[in-house]
Amino acid sequence: MKIRILCFFILVSGFINAQSPLCSSTSTNFGYERLNSININGQNYTVNTGWNGPGYVDYTGTPVPTITAGDIITLNFQAQTQGNYKQYFKLWIDFNGNGNLNDVGELVHTSYSQWSGTRNFNHTFTVPETVFNGEVYMRFIMVYSSSPTLCGNYSYGNTVDFKTTIAGATNPINHSGYVYGAEEEPLEGVTVQLKTQNKNQVGFSYSLHSEAVTDTNGAYSFSTNLDYNNYDYTIDVVPPALSIPTLNDINYFTDKLINGSYNSKDYWRMDVNNDGKFSVADLYYMLAYMNGIFTQYSSNTPSTKVFHYQQTPYFWDPLDTDTDDKSENFGYGSYSLFDRSNGDSTIFYIIRAGRKN
């Protein structure tokens, strides 16, 4: 049993080392055991050289050399104690890159040993074939007397975070983006769909894989276990139903009508009776719809117009500056294909009839 002394060192890990994006983890007491060094896949890291910490070290800026699916990886470390104390060790790797290291199969090493003095440990682990390519986080924890948990503080030991790159594995379909309105402000509550079909399949027969709904920032995201080597995919925006304008919207369009200041977007959002011009009639239609007198503007008024910015920037960019009618320019519209060239991220703009944004 350890003899506790009244004067001991307490150190908050963030005081010495910046915390990686992973959950907080550190020891709070020092002086009895320490992790001196660790070597992963041939890369050596110094952790502690004295008995006063730190309890947490962030080595994500010095990556572990690339690991390959199916490879056997070396894990060697040196630990030191000031008495005959039992230490527990664990190493996690975020194999699917989702930021959660507690998924099944991501705890790649667990062991314990009791000794006094300095001791070297030599282990290996095998990278599964089912991992995903890309940058991932790793965490190694040594804890006195009890098995480590991924997050939270503990009395004695060390936490070290790393980053590495996985190659030769699954290339997952993960995608994110934003949906904005006509004034390039976020739209919340818009449904976005991820659809897939078999890789290199002839024709277009995409089926729904999953849906996401935009948040208050207009953001959406998809995280899947699908391998891009096996599937093509498309991201589709489900055009929102015709929405009731507000007084703010009507006041905005009234000012436009008074000032005679229009742009090309107004042919979708302001010309609600779809007669190719702007007039008091449009404002009347908006007020009537807002008050439940009308249930639609006209039989051929589109409720929304969707632009996929990455594929058709030449459609969206002129809308703020040009004044001509571009309402026949439909382009790719509400879907996007094969967005690997966009870094798996897409921006959509939606123009809604009768709505400023």
CATH number, position 123:
2.60.40.10
**Does residue 196 sit in the same domain as residue 153?**
no
Residue 331: which pLDDT band, with cuts at 50, 70 and 90? very low
DSSP per-residue codes, 188-226: -S-EEEEEEEETT-SS---EEEEEEE--TTSEEEEEEEE
CATH for 226: 2.60.40.1120
Which one of 167, 196, 226 terminates a domain? 167
**Does residue 205 sit in the same domain as residue 351?**
yes
* Residue 120: domain span: 13-167
pLDDT at 285 over 60: yes
Please state the rounded mean pLDDT for residues 249-274: 89
Pairing of strands 207-213, 231-237: unpaired
Residue 2 lies in a domain: no
Q: Residue 5: what pLDDT?
A: 34
Summarised one tens digit per residue, pLDDT across range 292-301 is 888 778 777 7
Summarised one tens digit per residue, pLDDT across range 258-270 is 998 888 888 889 8
DSSP per-residue codes, 249-261: HHHHHHHHHHHT-
Which one of 109, 140, 167 terminates a domain? 167
Where b means 16+ CB within 10 Å and e means fewer, 110-138 reads eeeeeeeeeeebeeebebeeebbbbebbb
Summarised one tens digit per residue, pLDDT across range 80-101 is 999 999 999 999 999 988 889 9
Residue 1 lies in a domain: no
Please state the rounded mean pLDDT for residues 265-280: 86
**Does residue 92 sit in the same domain as residue 202?**
no
Q: Residue 325: what pLDDT?
A: 80
Residue 239: which pLDDT band, with cuts at 50, 70 and 90? confident
Residue 8 lies in a domain: no
Work out the mean pLDDT of the chain and round it to a whole number: 87
Residue 61 lies in a domain: yes
Please state the rounded mean pLDDT for residues 323-339: 63
Residue 15: which pLDDT band, with cuts at 50, 70 and 90? very low
**Does residue 194 sit in the same domain as residue 154?**
no
Is pLDDT larger for residue 227 or for residue 15? 227
Residue 6 lies in a domain: no
Residue 5 lies in a domain: no
Q: Residue 9: what pLDDT?
A: 34
Residue 285 lies in a domain: yes
Share of the chain above pLDDT 90, in %: 56
Q: Residue 18: what pLDDT?
A: 67
**Does residue 125 sit in the same domain as residue 256?**
no
**Does residue 214 sit in the same domain as residue 176?**
yes
pLDDT at 113 over 90: yes
Summarised one tens digit per residue, pLDDT across range 136-157 is 999 999 999 999 999 999 999 9
Q: Total structural domains in the chain?
A: 2
Residue 341: which pLDDT band, with cuts at 50, 70 and 90? low
Residue 342: which pLDDT band, with cuts at 50, 70 and 90? low
Is pLDDT larger for residue 10 or for residue 284? 284
Q: Residue 154: what pLDDT?
A: 96
Which one of 117, 152, 167 terminates a domain? 167
pLDDT at 1 over 60: no
